Amino acid sequence: MEKLKIAGGYPLRGTVKISGAKNSAVALIPATILADSPVTIEGLPDISDVNTLQSLLEEIGGKVTLEDGDMRVDPSQMISMPLPNGKVKKLRASYYLMGAMLGRFKKAVIGLPGGCHLGPRPIDQHIKGFEALGAEVTNEQGAIYLRAEELRGARIYLDVVSVGATINIMLAAVRAKGRTIIENAAKEPEIIDVATLLSNMGAKIKGAGTDVIRIDGVEELHGCRHTIIPDRIEAGTFMILGAAAGNGVLIDNVIPLHLESLIAKLREMGVPIEASEEKVFIGRSENLKAVDIKTLVYPGFPTDLQQPFTTLLTKAEGSAVVTDTIYSARFKHIDELRRMNANIKVEGRSAIVNGPVQLQGAKVKASDLRAGAALVVAGLMAEGVTEVTGLEHIDRGYSNLVEKLEGLGATIWREKMSEEEMEQMKSS
């Protein structure tokens, strides 16, 4: 096991290239199950979630190659093997195997998904969708069993706007008989990306990116090539980093339209930003003002950027209220930021950040993926050396983070943890 060490306080400068979107990748890879000939996805990020999904596809008989971010999946020999536990526990998005396998084989057995602990994360809306399409769904000993004689299109109204349920229902519906209408659908760019791949495979989908999606089922889907969209959360993390510890950071391969809410908030704080078609430049940011944020579904402020943004707020003058309306327990980074001298208190679903303070290097633990990003940003802002453990969370979702930060001039390195440190971490 490794930990990350960061010598903070040195301004970052230069260009960083953003990788393919993690939250698209984890849906695009299972979507390949629905085709009957090879699908190639170009530009996947170098993250452990992609490797876990590759081995899950291999477990069910897929022939998969992955080279320089391009994955070729031959799904022709796949079978509906049960995937009760094991690797599916490593990531939340393994729930997309349910929709894709149900769509192709009309049956699936998938262990309940794992992923970051951010409070309760039910999948009732996914199940409501599968049942509406004609599947029988049961939960037996920690695994979800799905079976259908046939899948028939249906009108499904989501009670909660859910990215996962929207994509999962699309996956199950593209090969169902007749028309499916998803109402109150989520509108995230990753949903459009998955719909684009499925359309290239021969699916008939209209309205992805709006709150009503119409799908006309087809009998077969074929192989194709697809290039993934850039990761808006990785891009947003680097934008926040540019404002927190930068002296001129250019973010390349980004779609600024996907980050309008973040750009608006950064500007409100006083961060100099220039956005063009595929690039965003963050100038040196001084005398920042505190701003309140409330996370909302897309195109509102993304919950996945709430944690790194909270770190940035420690540098701003005044008191800011950060409210997470999506997850009830996405504040585990706060105790760690406090160890680094931040003045933050949590009240219910809000954190109140008082600034400015100078963060100090400390030993901290990443409890989830974006908490990890928040602590790396903090480490780069802090005086002295910061040690971040819990790297397995960061490796799930940030592609070559250390190399990218080194490219911006950061002093950051990975170090092996001693036996004693590993014991301490397990018991904490």
Candidates 53, 93, 154, 305: give the one binding ligand EPU (CB under 6 A): 93
Q: Examine residue 165 and tell whether it contacts ligand EPU (CB under 6 A).
A: yes
Cβ proximity to ligand EPU, 63 vs 121, nearer residue? 121
Q: Number of residues in contact with ligand EPU, rule: CB under 6 A?
A: 26
Best CA proximity match to 60, nearest among 114, 110, 103, 95: 110
Q: Examine residue 293 and tell whether it contacts ligand EPU (CB under 6 A).
A: no
What distance in Å separates the CA atoms of residue 424 and residue 42, rounded to the nearest whole number? Answer: 41
Best CA proximity match to 198, nearest among 179, 226, 219: 226
Residue nearest to ligand EPU (CB): 164
Q: Examine residue 294 and tell whether it contacts ligand EPU (CB under 6 A).
A: no
What distance in Å separates the CA atoms of residue 103 and residue 90, rounded to the nearest whole number? Answer: 23
Element (H, E) at 246: strand 246-252
What distance in Å separates the CA atoms of residue 358 and residue 341, rounded to the nearest whole number? Answer: 7
Name the token pair of 335: 């105790």
**Pairing mode, if any, of strands 350-355 and 343-347?**
antiparallel
Q: How far is the CB of 91 from ligand EPU (least distance, A)?
A: 7
Name the token pair of 267: 């500007």
Q: Could you write out the three-class secondary structure of 268-299?
A: HHCCCEEECCCEEEECCCCCCECCCEEECCCC
Element (H, E) at 400: none
Candidates 39, 45, 78, 92: give the one binding ligand EPU (CB under 6 A): 92
Q: Examine residue 122 and tell whether it contacts ligand EPU (CB under 6 A).
A: yes
What distance in Å separates the CA atoms of residue 209 and residue 301, rounded to the nearest whole number? Answer: 16
**3-state DSSP assignment of residue 47:** coil
Candidates 1, 160, 257, 264: give the one binding ligand EPU (CB under 6 A): 160
Candidates 28, 146, 369, 412: give the one binding ligand EPU (CB under 6 A): 369
- Indicate which residue of 28, 91, 98, 116 is catalytic: 116
Q: How far is the CB of 22 from ligand EPU (least distance, A)?
A: 6
Question: Which of the stretches 67-75, 158-166, 273-281, 354-362 binds ligand EPU when contact is defined by CB under 6 A?
Answer: 158-166
What distance in Å separates the CA atoms of residue 171 and residue 99, rounded to the nearest whole number? Answer: 5
Cβ proximity to ligand EPU, 355 vs 372, nearer residue? 372
**3-state DSSP assignment of residue 217:** coil
224 belongs to the catalytic site: no
Q: Examine residue 232 and tell whether it contacts ligand EPU (CB under 6 A).
A: no
Binding mask 26-65 for ligand EPU (x = CB under 6 A): x---------------------------------------
Q: Examine residue 124 and tell whether it contacts ligand EPU (CB under 6 A).
A: yes
The residues facing 6 across adjacent strands are 386, 412
Q: How far is the CB of 388 from ligand EPU (least distance, A)?
A: 16
Task: Tell me the catalytic residues.
Answer: 116
Q: Interface residues with ligand EPU (CB under 6 A)?
A: 23, 26, 92-93, 116, 120-126, 160, 162-165, 186, 233, 303-304, 326-327, 369-370, 397
